[in-house]
Amino acid sequence: MGNSQDLYKKAKTLIPGGTMLLSKRPEMFLPEKWPAYFSKAKGCKVWDLDGKEYIDVSLMGIGTNILGYGNDEVDAAVLNTIQKGNMSTFNCPEEVYLAERLIELHPWADMVRFARSGGEANAIAIRIARAACGKDKVAICGYHGWHDWYLSANLSDDKNLDGHLLPGLDPLGVPRNLKSTVFPFNYNNFNELEQLVSNQDIGVIKMEVSRNKGPENDFLQKVRKLATDKNIILIFDECTSGFRQTFGGLHKLYGVEPDMAIFGKALGNGYAITAVIGKKEIMEAAQKTFISSTFWTERIGPTAGLKTLEVMERERSWEIITETGSQIAKRWQEIADIHNLSINIIGLPALIGFSFNSRNTLAYKTLITQEMIKKGYLAATSIYVSIAHTNNVLDGYFGELEKVFCKIKSCESGQADINSLLEGPICHSGFKRLN
């Protein structure tokens, strides 16, 4: 771990916050000990800078690689594109083919715009929707990126976004004039949204289809009806949920169609490509405002997207990862039961997580990462499942994890002290300024 830790120390002097993505901060896993940088990745294996090999049963590139790291077919398509040329004064035809494909998969949509990150795609969708409806106010539920429009939700109360994936986001640098343009509502709380819509002139509702738990009492159907009745544009942010449980948006599973949807993360199996799809009359508003960027025209993203969809369809990857994730949940519960530990399992099967019902939950999470890394596993308390997570991989993982659960049991029963088992600081649970 020598090389990695030195490099990370240097990174913090050169890069404010150390990394570009909060979720890749070593402090989010195992402060002072997490290897942090990779030299190679393939399937569900990652090699650090010292050449040490790990099996990734954690965030798998933060959900980008459903087909495993370095998928041969996707990489071959990308290499072919590189050989032919990634950039030119002309546009790449793949963007048209990929647009067509996404619409085939979501027949309610007519048009597509592409970007290269989820936050960007979210900002594009909001701009188009606001331009189309002529209203400023947006109701949101979930995490939708780092841009001003979203963080402005925290201007009136810096705890507004706390229930929406990332607590503690400070809207410093976001113009105060954006105050009272974005209003959060809680998932499955239809009354709250209804109130919001009757008190504010909401033009857009943007939400994740499901994150930690599924919809209850026809929540999505009710939101759809409210949006239709009040002439509000409904956007589903499927950056994370897309392609994990259906071949496309999770909304297909629930039979509720939005007016726009956003895809990111898994669409290019690790290559940068994100998309906004929507109904023609709304998407056409992109022409009335100005939305344009040079690198949205590069060719690797759409190439990877097309090949990823082809492989996903053939392998039916969403079925494989959903089944694997359900098995993981079952096996977590089994080893918790064996040791009489109380855990809470949440998330889509293919993005499954658990927490201990204990005041030491974060310390136990840190212990899992600390002990599992010694055995060659990148592990915490959630897994973005990929098709590379075979039964063999899981058998090895559970064999080691059970031993850590055993240690946690001794802490819970007072026979051991979690603080003396931990060899470094407890991991962070959200956004914090680094020293």
Give me the residues that bind ligand PMP (CB under 6 A), please. 117-119, 122, 142-145, 208, 237, 239-240, 264
The per-residue DSSP string of 334-363 comes to HHHHHTT--EEEES-TTEEEEEESSTTHHH
Distance CA 328, CA 76 (A): 31
Smallest separation, CB 78 to ligand PMP (Å):
19
Q: Give long-range contacts, CB 8 A cutoff, 24+ apart: 159-162.
A: 160/184
Please work out, in degrees rounded to the nearest 5, the angle formed at the alpha carbon of residue 207 by the alpha carbons of 302 and 180: 115
Smallest separation, CB 182 to ligand PMP (Å):
14
Q: Is the dihedral of CA 283, 287, 291, 297 positive or negative?
A: positive
Nearer to ligand PMP, 261 or 421 (CB): 261
Nearer to ligand PMP, 68 or 142 (CB): 142
Say if CB 211 and CB 240 are below 8 A apart: yes
Say if CB 160 and CB 153 are below 8 A apart: yes
Smallest separation, CB 256 to ligand PMP (Å):
17
Residue nearest to ligand PMP (CB): 118
Nearer to ligand PMP, 119 or 376 (CB): 119
Nearer to ligand PMP, 1 or 62 (CB): 62
Instruction: Give strand pairing partners of 19.
Output: none
Nearer to ligand PMP, 264 or 347 (CB): 264
Nearer to ligand PMP, 351 or 388 (CB): 351
Entry field: residues in the chain? 435
Distance CA 74, CA 300 (A): 10
Q: How far is CA 209 from CA 223, 331, 371, in A?
A: 11, 26, 35
DSSP state of 278: E
Nearer to ligand PMP, 250 or 367 (CB): 250
Smallest separation, CB 122 to ligand PMP (Å):
5
Smallest separation, CB 116 to ligand PMP (Å):
8
Nearer to ligand PMP, 209 or 401 (CB): 209
Smallest separation, CB 410 to ligand PMP (Å):
35
Distance CA 301, CA 98 (A): 10
The per-residue DSSP string of 248-271 comes to S-THHHHT---SEEEE-GGGGTTS
Helix (H, G, I), strand (E, B) or coil at 69: strand
Nearer to ligand PMP, 144 or 299 (CB): 144
Smallest separation, CB 304 to ligand PMP (Å):
15
Residue 338 corresponds to which tokens in the numbers above? 């064996």
**Among residues 375, 345, 316, which one has the least CA distance to residue 57?**
375
Say if CB 63 and CB 241 are below 8 A apart: no
Smallest separation, CB 341 to ligand PMP (Å):
29
Number of helical H runs and strand E runs in the chain = 15, 14
Nearer to ligand PMP, 209 or 341 (CB): 209
Smallest separation, CB 418 to ligand PMP (Å):
29
Smallest separation, CB 166 to ligand PMP (Å):
9
Say if CB 85 and CB 112 are below 8 A apart: no
